[in-house]
Structure 1
Amino acid sequence: MRGLPVSRSPLRYRYQQVEAWLFEGIEQKRWRLGEKLPSIRRLCQLHQVSKATVLHALMHLEAQGWIEARPKSGYFVTYHVNPPKAAQSHNILDVPRLANVSDLFLDIMQRSAAFDLLPSSPTLEESPGIRTLNRSIARALRQQNTQESQYYDSPAGDAGLRSQLSIHQARRGWRVESDELCITSGTQQGLFLALMASCQPGDIVAVESPGFYGVLQLLETLGLQVIEVPSSVNHGMDMEALETMLQRWPIRACVVAPAFSTPSGALMPIDRQRRLLDLAERHDLVVIEDDIYADTALGEIPAPLKALDTSGRVILCSSFSKSVSRDLRIGWICGGRWHQQIQQLKVVTQLANSRFLQQGVAHFMAEGGFAAHLRRQRQVLQRRRDQLMMSLNEWPIQPMTISRPLGGLSIWLELPEAVNTLNAYSEALRQGIVITPGPLFSISGRYANCLRLSFAHPWNKQRLQALARLKTLLFK
């Protein structure tokens, strides 16, 4: 059946809290397939909310296909939730090996389609936040003087931008001083610097499985060995499996995305985060946190793992590319005990960032443009996610598992074992459709029956038609 694991995070709106509570009950089999949910009046009493709030939550679950309204009877569960296969692979432990990333990654990037099923389709929806950002950047460029243009930016980056980032992180619950941050050209560069500073060629690095293919590419480039740790779409990396691996092999570092990891959108609970840091202390492990998706949270933005770090063992990397624009190549890194070395490596590999771009982004944040953009973006992304899930729930395919992220830009689709998404890639291309097959998220050859589908772009008529054609390609 179509299982729908749910991540847990702070939720901004009351209807989201009610929706999450109801789905958790379905997930935990408090209400089973065919059973009736509590009445609207009872839900209003339980959660101290209005009837409109309860109806909003019920309509969201119904739109996604997990409950149905029956006239004069109430709401009933229509699908049974099963755990996804990816979460059941904890007994499979890999051995360290050198990464070998498929040429498919480069092919997808050359098509500018890492997050778009149909890159030829127009986006149509214009973002007020991007307009505001462009004005801020243009203003910063106009105010540049001739003297500044003849000098490089400082290694740490613009002080004003680092100050605004410090304020933004404080709102998430992480107190970080601006001089603890270093501006980068995106999260990928931050991860590269973190690995260079903390590892030597031949070292073993633990990664999530399935996990970000960009990390695998970095590990291959740096000559680092990879060991894949099973991860679930609910809670991310399996700490028991990681502990077993740490006891068996001299793992140097662990790259992890606690907030809405790609491809599944998993959110690591706080108890797992604490256990990860405990394992890091006991085994002298460097923890490299990929925090790029945190600002895409559909509710409140969760605090980073770095906020729990008391020994400078966590290196946090992030950027604006997923929350604002992929074309805005500005990120940041907090290097902990490796911070000075990271800054030196940045000077060697990049020298400096664009000063006026940083100043423009700092102005965008200081004037409230970034916060306003995130508020609007949460609503846009949730609408797109729900529309994608509603379309997928109409696929008459079983068994099929769909993750239900509360942040990030994509879902993880687990299809029947007979489906091979890698084989479907070329045929889909001939129809102008670009998919991201499951095997790309591992070096093990697993996940051939899995697919990452993004909701980063609007589901216009052309993309919905492409999604329908994809179903035919996969199951013909």
Structure 2
Amino acid sequence: MTKYSPIPAPTQSPSTADQEFRYQQLEQQLLAGIQQQRWRLGERLPSIRDLCQQFEASKATVQHALQRLEAQGLLEARPKSGFYVTLRPGAISPPQARNRLEPPQPVNVSQLLLDIMRRSAAFDILPGRPSGDLPPGIVALNRSIGRALRRQRGDDYLYYDDPAGLPALREQLCLHLSRRGCQLPVDQLAITSGCQHALFLALMACCKAGDVVAVESPGFYGLLQLLEQLQLQVIEIPSPTSTGMDPDALEAALARWPIRACIVSPAFSTPGGALMPDAHRQRLLTLAEQHDMAMIEDDIYADTAFATPPDPLKALDQHGRVILCSSFSKSLSRDLRLGWISGGRWHARILHLKLVTQLASSRSLQQGVADFLEDGSFSSHLRRQKYLLREQRDRLLAALRIWPGNHRISTPEGGLAVWLELDQDADTLTLYPQALQAGVVITPGPLFSASGQFHHCLRLSFAHDWTPSRLQALQTLSGLLVP
């Protein structure tokens, strides 16, 4: 824990002190400490006991002062952890919304993405794979999978899995989704080889080559890869980093072009972490019904929510138009290539396509993950993770706020990354090789668009701990932005 020198109490006459409550004095002293960055954004304040000793105040006085600062949005109380410095509402300027709507076009994904993936830096600014201790959740997961492998019986290893996937895992996933207001029968869920595979199956089931697909802009570059391989045309729908895909822009596009499917991430979409309001979700479903359009929901970030995970769009689906796709890769482990899909009216075709493209999934791996969910280990992991991700997000925002120039930053309440808009004359594609030469890997903004938009933007992830080397990498990147 960082050590801080005591904050001196203001000199007051007895009459002044008598007129002011002690908790108000303490509140002002703590506020001064935050403003002077004795405690930085994302850092934990000393414990209540330590504050009592430092300021010679009672426990009730300290608690009252902390609660008043919490009410102002300056502190956040985290159970069994303490009080953390957080963002004042409006303290960071959000990225500006985009209103550019262009005709459908073929997709051509840059080779730059392959270079980023080759360096294992899709969610890290440092290339390579740093060593370190495994989190408790991953240790428990490995034990569950190991036990499942050891429990193999007879000739199990000679048989393929059911095309839909292991019933035990599907049952646990249905139970997990039910806690988010989405009631699905087990036979309407299938196991896939990750979320990318689920999206691939969804697009194959409801589209054919040449069809037009609406996507978020900025949006997921992995999705653009799929659209390119399937020879689908893309139309980019403006998607503010606060509310996600703009329903008005989608409606305008539907009036001009025959859009066959729309792909959205209502919960903390990449790159900006947008959370779609309920009214927007309902409008998307109404538009889908009016225009006979498939809604493909990428729900992969929902379980990274800092608070209660939002209900999926699928929970509102009354006509089988939503194809729900997700996986464990963002909430648990990138190395766990298990996802799931619920295909609505296209589910039977999706099962057939899964049989063709994957044949079967590992039963032992599925059983291990099913046990991990059933014994509560996954829920325990998510409880720890949300506090960790919140702290890592705040440390990233604190570092970005002091960068030079006029920039805007998204402030997501889930997900793994923020969207950074630099000065208009910045070019992150030009910055990429310069940063690489300095040992830093960035994810330039144009990767998140099929039309080359967002040249002055980049995505920065808070998925990893802010070690001294990563903080130094941020400082190096900041220096490269100064001519």
Give TM-score scaled by structure 2 length.
Answer: 0.83
Deviation at 1:350, TM superposition (A): 0.6
Selected match of 1:184 from 188, 192, 204? 192
Query: 2:400 and 2:164 mapped to 1: Cα distance?
Result: 45
- Which residue pairs with 2:75 in the alignment? 59
Task: From the superposition, tell whether residues 120 and 283 of structure 1 become closer, same or farther in structure 2 (CA, over 3 Å).
Answer: same
1:353 to 339, 358, 361: 361
- Which AA in structure 2 matches 1:133? L
Amino acid aligned to 1:58: L
- Superposition map of 1:64-463 within 5 A: 66=88, 79=91, 82=93, 84-85=95-96, 87=97, 89-90=98-99, 92-120=100-128, 122=130, 124=132, 126-398=134-406, 400-463=407-470
- Note the alpha carbon deviations across 1:47-90, whole angstroms, 9 max, x for none: xx9653443441359956648xxxxxxxxx8x5x65532x1x32
Identify if the C-alpha distance between structure 1 residues 62 and 126 changes in structure 2 by more than 3 Å, giving closer, same or farther. closer
TM-superposed CA distance for 1:428, in Å, is 1.2
Provide the secondary structure at the position in 1 that maps to 2:226: helix
Distance 2:143 2:360 in 1: 23
Give the conservation status (yes or no) of the 8 Å contact 1:133–1:361.
Answer: yes
Pair 1:379–1:419, CA change in 2 (3 A): same
Tell me if structure 1 keeps the 8 A contact 2:304–2:415.
yes
Q: Which amino acid aligns with 2:473?
A: A
CA distance in 1, matches of 2:390, 2:449: 28
% of aligned pairs identical? 59
Matches of 1:141 and 1:126, distance apart in 2: 20
Residues 195-237 of structure 1: CA deviation (Å, up to 9, x unaligned)? 0000010000000000000110000000000000001011000
AA at the equivalent of 2:209: P
Query: Secondary structure of 1:443's partner?
Result: coil
Q: What letter is aligned with 2:186?
A: S
Q: How do 1:11-50 and structure 2 match up within 5 A? A: none
Q: Deviations over 1:100-148 (max 9, x none)?
A: 1101111111111100111347353531000000000000000012311
Q: Are the structure 2 counterparts of residues 360 and 212 from structure 1 closer, same or farther at C-alpha, using a change threshold of 3 Å?
A: same
Report if the CA contact (8 A) 2:219-2:270 is conserved.
Answer: yes
Residues 326, 99 of structure 1: CA spacing in aligned structure 2 closer, same or farther, 3 A cutoff?
same
Q: Distance in 1 between matches of 2:129 and 2:157?
A: 39
Report the 3-state secondary structure (helix = DSSP H, G, I; strand = E; otherwise coil) of the residue aligned with 2:75: helix
Q: How big is the shift at 1:430?
A: 1.5
3-state DSSP class of the match of 2:239?
A: strand
**1: CA distance, partners of 2:442 / 2:461:** 9
1:141-170 per-residue CA deviation (whole Å, 9 max, x = no partner) reads: 000123111000000000000000011011
Distance 1:435 1:54 in 2: 39
In structure 2, do the counterparts of structure 1 residues 472 and 121 end up closer, same or farther at CA, with 3 Å as the change threshold?
farther
1:275-316 CA-to-partner distances (Å, cap 9, x unmatched) read: 000000000010000000000000001100000000000000
The letter of the residue matching 1:405 is P
Larger relative contact order (Cα-Cα within 8 Å, sequence gap ≥ 6): 1
Gaps of 5+ in 2: 1-62, 77-82
- The CA distance in 2 between the partners of 1:229 and 1:166, in whole Å, is 31
Shift of 1:178: 1.3
Q: Which runs of 4+ in 1 moved over 6 A?
A: none
Q: 1:202 to 1:382 in 2, by over 3 A?
A: same
Which sections of structure 1, spanning at least 5 residues, go unmatched? Answer: 1-48, 68-76
Alignment root-mean-square deviation, CA:
1.7
Deviation at 1:475, TM superposition (A): 2.4
Separation of aligned partners in 1, 2:85 and 2:404: 16
SS of alignment partner, residue 426 of structure 1: helix
Pair 1:464-2:464 in alignment: no
Task: Report the Cα distance in structure 2 between the residues aligned to 1:343 and 1:467, rounded to whole angstroms.
Answer: 45
Question: Cα deviation per residue 1:375-398 (whole Å; 9 max; x = unaligned)?
Answer: 000010001000000111121322
Q: Distance in 2 between matches of 1:50 and 1:324?
A: 37
Corresponding letter in the other structure for 1:464: L
- Is the Cα–Cα contact under 8 Å of residues 201 and 353 in structure 2 kept in the other structure? yes
Whether the 8 Å contact between 1:65 and 1:390 is mirrored in structure 2 is no
Deviations 1:228-268 (A, max 9, x none): 00010110001111001101000000011000000000000
Q: For residues 178 and 54 of structure 1, what CA distance do their matches in structure 2 show?
A: 47
What letter corresponds to residue 196 of structure 2 in structure 1?
Q
Query: Residue 69 of structure 2 aligns to which amino acid in structure 1?
Result: L
Report SS of the residue matched to 1:97: coil
Q: Does 1:475 align with 2:459?
A: no
Which AA in structure 1 matches 2:149?
Answer: L
Rg: which structure is higher? Answer: 2
| Matched positions, count | 413
1:446 is paired with a residue of what secondary structure?
A: coil
Q: Is the 8 A contact 1:121 1:463 kept in 2?
A: no
Letter in 1 for 2:245: M
* Aligned residues of 2:120 and 2:128 also touching (Cα < 8 A): no
